[in-house]
A and B are shown apart, each in its own frame.
Chain A
Amino acid sequence: MNLAPRQSRPGEVRGDHKVVASLVPEGARVLDIGSEDGALLDLLARERRIDGRGIELSQAGVNRCVARGLSVIQGDADKDLSDYPDRAFDVVILSQTLQATREPKEVMSELLRIGKRVIVSIPNFAHWRNRMQLLFRGRMPVTKYLPYEWYDTPNIHFCSLRDFVELCHELDAEVVKAVALSAHGNEIPVNAPWWVWNIVAEQAVFLLKR
Chain B
Amino acid sequence: MSADTPSPETSEDVKANEAIAPSSKLAHFPADEPLELDSGVKLGPWQIAYETYGELNADKSNAIVICHALTGDQYVASTNPVTGKPGWWELMVGPGRPVDTDHYFVICANVLGGCLGTTGPATMNPQTGVPYGLDLPVITIRDMVRAQARLVDYLGIDTLFAVMGGSMGGMQVLQWAVSYPERVFAAVPIAAAARHTSQNIAFHEVGRQAIMADPNWRQGTYIQEGVRPTKGLAVARMAAHVTYMSDESLHQKFGRNLQDRDNLTFGFDADFQIESYLRHQGMTFVDRFDANSYLYVTRAMDYFDLADQFDGALPLAFAGTNTRFCVMSFTSDWLFPTSESRQVVKALNAAAANVSFVEIESDRGHDSFLLDVPEMFETIRGFLTGAARARGVPAPGGEA
Contact = CB atoms under 8 A, between A and B. Distances in A.
Interface string A52-74: 01000001001101111111111
A106 interface: no
Contact of B349 (A65, A68, A83): A83
B8 interface: no
A67 B382 contact: yes
B25 to A, nearest CB: 32
B136 interface: no
B375 interface: yes
Contact of A53 (B327, B355, B359): B355
Identify which of A71, A72, A80, A83 gathers the most chain B CB atoms within 10 Å of its CB: A71
B357 A62 contact: yes
Contact of A73 (B357, B382, B383, B389): B357
A59 B356 contact: no
Contacts of A83: 346, 349-350
A31 to B, nearest CB: 9
A84 B358 contact: no
Nearest to A53: B354
Contact of A66 (B345, B350, B356, B361): B356
A63 B355 CA distance: 13
Contacts of B378: 63, 67
Secondary structure type dominating chain A contacts: mixed
B359 A70 contact: no
Interface string B210-221: 000000000000
A88 interface: yes
B352 A85 contact: yes
A66 B383 contact: yes
B239 interface: no
Nearest to A51: B354
B350 A85 contact: yes
B195 interface: no
Contacts of B385: 69
A89 interface: yes
A71 B386 CA distance: 9
Contacts of B350: 83-85
A67 B381 contact: yes
Interface in A73-113: 73-74, 80, 83-85, 88-89
A63 B375 contact: yes
B352 A84 contact: yes
B360 interface: yes
A51 B390 CA distance: 9
A68 B386 contact: yes
Chain B interface extent, by class:
20 to 34
Which of A59, A63, A68 has most chain B Cβ within 10 Å?
Answer: A63
Contacts of B284: none
A48 B326 CA distance: 23
A74 B338 CA distance: 11
Contacts of B359: 59, 74
Contact of B383 (A59, A69, A80, A84): A69
A68 B356 CA distance: 12
A84 B355 CA distance: 12
B324 interface: yes
A74 B386 contact: no
A94 to B, nearest CB: 16
Contacts of A84: 349-350, 352
B179 interface: no
A85 B319 CA distance: 11
B259 interface: no
B352 A89 contact: yes
Nearest to A89: B352
A69 B378 CA distance: 10
B379 interface: yes
A137 B356 CA distance: 46
Interface of A: 51, 53, 59, 62-63, 65-74, 80, 83-85, 88-89
Closest 8 CB pairs of A and B: A69-B386, A67-B382, A88-B352, A73-B357, A83-B349, A66-B356, A71-B356, A67-B378
30 contacts: A53-B354, A53-B355, A59-B358, A59-B361, A62-B357, A63-B358, A63-B360, A66-B356, A66-B358, A67-B382, A68-B382, A68-B386, A69-B387, A70-B356, A70-B386, A71-B324, A71-B354, A71-B386, A72-B356, A72-B357, A73-B345, A73-B349, A73-B355, A73-B357, A74-B357, A74-B359, A83-B346, A83-B350, A84-B352, A85-B351
Given A66-B326, A71-B324, A84-B352, 16 more contacts: A53-B354, A59-B359, A59-B361, A62-B356, A62-B358, A63-B378, A63-B379, A66-B382, A68-B386, A70-B356, A70-B386, A71-B354, A73-B349, A74-B359, A83-B349, A84-B350
